[in-house]
Amino acid sequence: MSARSGGAERPADRARPVGPALMVIFGGAGDLARRKLLPALCNLREAGLLGDGFGVLATATRPLDDASFREQTREAVCGHLGERFDAETWSWLEERLFYERGELGDSALFERLAERIETLDRKLATAGNALFYLAIPPSLFAPTVEQLAARGLFDEAGGRTRRVIVEKPFGRDLESARALNRALAASLAETQVYRIDHYLGKETVQNMLAFRFANGIFEPVWNRRYVDNVQITVAESLGVGHRARYYEEAGALRDMVPNHLFQLLGYVAMEPPVSFAADAVRDEKGKVFSAIVPFDPEEVLHSTVRGQYGPGAMPDGGRVPGYREEPGIDPASTTETFVALRLAIDNWRWAGVPFYLRTGKRLPRRISEVVVEFRRVPFMMFRETPIDHLSPNRLTLRIQPREGISLHFGAKVPGPSLRLGGVDMNFCYRDQFGEEPATGYETLLYDALRGDATLFQRGDNVEAAWSVVQPILDVWHALSPRDFPNYPAGSHGPEAADELVGREGRRWRTP
Ligand code: BG6
């Protein structure tokens, strides 16, 4: 993450191209590589952020060679970038694209990779630097890393850099997260590991830090004295799609909470770091997770809600099947597709302020946002407007869509009587800065290539997040849900989620 500040400055206005490196993509013929990683490399090149000493070596099981891989990739990248596809940029990348076919269980593949990395290093002048990207199933992370280590491929002798990007999920519970960390630590220094959470690649998420720490006016009220509650919503309108196998095992809690929602929570709740250096930011985020009051079993029953969508109608009128009727899903599945939680952060800044988190599939619209709701004024002198008719001041950080920030406050309705109404002051990214071509992976790849780990998760942060979630997994596992499906597709989730907030005299702020 480069330090960006002031006016309408764009990243590319100040950012410098990354140094030489070879990117080795495991799962290089897969969806992520074709839809996100390679288009992101094109965008980085166009922004002047990739220099000539660069190349990509992809490996996967598909029977391809360099030429057929390039051809297939061209089609995919062209399809993805659409009008933004630039033939000149593509031919630059194409010359630097290579493919090695093989099975990850076959040690001969790693021999061949080691040789090719050396040959390509000389050919492309990548200065011995390599970035390994593990876009493969999690069960293959540890054995792949072990094979690479056994061939000395993580050795940083002579000043070269060797880094590994790992994609989520980082375990499926606390124990497996610890096991994964141990396996990575056996072969790599923590500084060589880049755990991606694509939420941190979103401009609006990064802007949360800029918003909080580059503006003097909000920080003084960003605490228990002024904030009444914080709400974090990541709502999706899509259903489970084609990911039945993964999702049946994961469920909404594992899939979204200890990673994406906790990243948002960390940024909204953390103390100002001493700098934007990776460890300074990650230390502060870690402190937030460890200050979350642990759930005991009773608290799980009281402060968490799970849901599963049944058949229903989406806002456009289209009828959609329930989760249990989706292809590949067990007709008696107890996997949750919705979660709501109430968390407490026991520290000086947040004691007594509830944090409400919710996420779910097949909700009416795709909306991710953080709402900071401020305390009401102590006394209402406007007799024409009862105090409970005036909504409290609210700051909304809209992550997606219509990325931006808005502030809600009371204003006098024009006319002879002193009546108040709620109004919004709005900042919209697109209006201010225009639209940047982005897959969401540009900043993350740029940072990993430069060795800036600020936007990546550190092993101890991952474990701290799982520690919070583990008691919920345990109770939910022990007690099968009896009321699933408990919300129709196209609704805002189960009623119990409204009660979770309602019994404390509050409501979800849904735009
Ligand atoms: C992924 C989850 O990590 O994030 C998906 O596995 C989810 O289930 C997705 O749909 C949401 O990401 P975004 O960027 O669309 O909000």
If one residue of 198, 200, 253 were mutated to test the ligand 1 pocket, choosing by the most ligand atoms within 8 A of its CB, it would be 198
| 110 CA from centroid of ligand 1 (Å) | 32
**Strand 338-344 with 312-313, pairing:** unpaired
Nearest-CA residue for ligand 1 atom 10 is 236
What is the rounded average pLDDT of the residues 28-40? 92
Per-residue pLDDT at 324: 97
| 236 CA from centroid of ligand 1 (Å) | 8
What are the start-end ranges of the H helices in 292-350? 297-303
Strand (E) or helix (H) holding 404: strand 404-413
DSSP letter for each residue of 426-475: EEEHHHHH------S-HHHHHHHHHT--TTSB-HHHHHHHHHHHHHHHHH
Kindly tell me if the per-residue pLDDT of 10 is higher than 70.
Answer: no
Query: Of 12 and 377, which is predicted with more confidence?
Result: 377
Per-residue pLDDT at 511: 61
The model's confidence at residue 4, banded by pLDDT at 50, 70 and 90, is very low
Nearest-CA residue for ligand 1 atom 14 is 199
Q: How many CA atoms lie within 13 A of 326 on its CB side?
A: 27
DSSP letter for each residue of 203-215: HHHHHHHHHHHS-
Per-residue pLDDT at 46: 93
Q: In Å, what is the CA distance from 421 to each residue of 85, 98, 198, 247, 375? A: 48, 61, 38, 44, 17
Q: Provide the mean pLDDT of the chain.
A: 92
Contacts of 50 (CB under 8 A, 6+ apart): 17, 18, 41, 44
Per-residue pLDDT at 39: 94
How do residues 423-437 score in pLDDT, each as one tens digit?
Answer: 999 999 888 888 776
The model's confidence at residue 386, banded by pLDDT at 50, 70 and 90, is low
Nearest atom in ligand 1 to the alpha carbon of residue 238 is 10
What is the rounded average pLDDT of the residues 301-316? 97
| CATH of 200-502 given 3.40.640.10, 3.30.360.10, 3.40.50.720, 3.40.50.300 | 3.30.360.10
Least confident of 4-13, 94-103, 195-204: 4-13
Nearest atom in ligand 1 to the alpha carbon of residue 440 is 14
- Structure tokens belonging to residue 309: 């969508």
Residue in the block written with tokens 């390679």 = 38
Per-residue pLDDT at 197: 92
- C-alpha of 298 from chain center: 30
- Active-site residue, 477 included: no
Least confident of 130-134, 328-332, 363-367, 419-423: 419-423
Apex 399 CA angle, 363 and 343, nearest 5: 70
| 136 CA from centroid of ligand 1 (Å) | 17
Q: Where are the beta strands (DSSP E) in 30-181?
A: 54-60, 97-101, 130-134, 162-167
Apex 363 CA angle, 368 and 32, nearest 5: 60
Per-residue pLDDT at 419: 77
The model's confidence at residue 11, banded by pLDDT at 50, 70 and 90, is very low
How do residues 440-449 score in pLDDT, each as one tens digit?
Answer: 899 999 999 9
The model's confidence at residue 402, banded by pLDDT at 50, 70 and 90, is confident
Nearest-CA residue for ligand 1 atom 4 is 256
Domain limits, the chain: 11-167, 200-502
Q: List residues near ligand 1 (CB under 6 A).
A: 198, 236, 255, 368
- At 355, is the secondary structure helix, strand, or coil? strand
If one residue of 236, 240, 249, 361 were mutated to test the ligand 1 pocket, choosing by the most ligand atoms within 8 A of its CB, it would be 236
DSSP letter for each residue of 107-148: HHHHHHHHHHHHHHHHHHT-TT-EEEEE-S-GGGHHHHHHHH
How do residues 44-77 score in pLDDT, each as one tens digit?
Answer: 999 999 999 999 999 999 999 999 999 999 999 9
Kindly tell me if the per-residue pLDDT of 459 is higher than 90.
Answer: yes
How do residues 209-247 score in pLDDT, each as one tens digit?
Answer: 999 999 999 999 999 999 999 999 999 999 998 889 999
If one residue of 196, 197, 253, 256 were mutated to test the ligand 1 pocket, choosing by the most ligand atoms within 8 A of its CB, it would be 256
Strand (E) or helix (H) holding 343: strand 338-344
Fold of the domain built from segment(s) 11-167: Rossmann fold (3.40.50)
Per-residue pLDDT at 3: 42
| 179 CA from centroid of ligand 1 (Å) | 24
- The alpha carbon torsion through 264, 265, 266, 271 (nearest 10 deg) reads 120
Per-residue pLDDT at 380: 67
Catalytic residue (choose from 80, 198, 242, 260): 260
